[in-house]
Amino acid sequence: MTVTDDEPRAGQARQQQQPRQKLITGPGILLVWLYGVMVVGAVSRSAVQISTDFGKAPLAYTLSAIAGVVYGFITYSLVRGGETARKAALVCCAAELVGVLGVGAWTLAEPSAFPDATVWSDFGMGYLFIPVLLPVTAVFWLRRARGQSGEPA
């Protein structure tokens, strides 16, 4: 039996049968990988810093931990899939973007508040700017995923 993947209507019909929309196909898998890397990076980094030397830069370490939690939630949402997870991930990506832009500007405006770097310092320069590029890419991907599940984009 031949499956006409190219036809949007066929995809739509199949979509209705599926209980949960997949978010990790195609470019989504790359997003999950990069988010996974950021989870490991941010969580392990803040865990080490908070447990060994929290007094040195409490603000920076707390922000790194928050970043790690946000990344973790987005990764989980992407892997889980479905419309609710997609919306939740979209909200978190927006929060992440606000976070990285806000903290990035904050670290530049008031370096004295940050004796040590956070994941989001200087807009994520220490992480090849992935922290600032990732939410933008993810928002595009998640918005496109809606187009696929509803009417053809």
In the complex, the residues that contact other proteins under the rule CB under 8 A are 24-30, 32-34, 36-37, 40, 44, 48, 52, 128
Judged by beta carbon, residue 73 or residue 141, the one nearer other proteins is 141
CB 26 within 8 A of CB 136: no
In the complex, the smallest distance separating the C-beta of residue 8 from other proteins, rounded to whole angstroms, is 19
In the complex, the smallest distance separating the C-beta of residue 152 from other proteins, rounded to whole angstroms, is 20
| Three-state secondary structure of 61-98 | HHHHHHHHHHHHHHHHHHHHCCHHHHHHHHHHHHHHHH
In the complex, the smallest distance separating the C-beta of residue 34 from other proteins, rounded to whole angstroms, is 6
How far is the C-alpha of 15 from the C-alpha of 12, rounded, in Å? 5
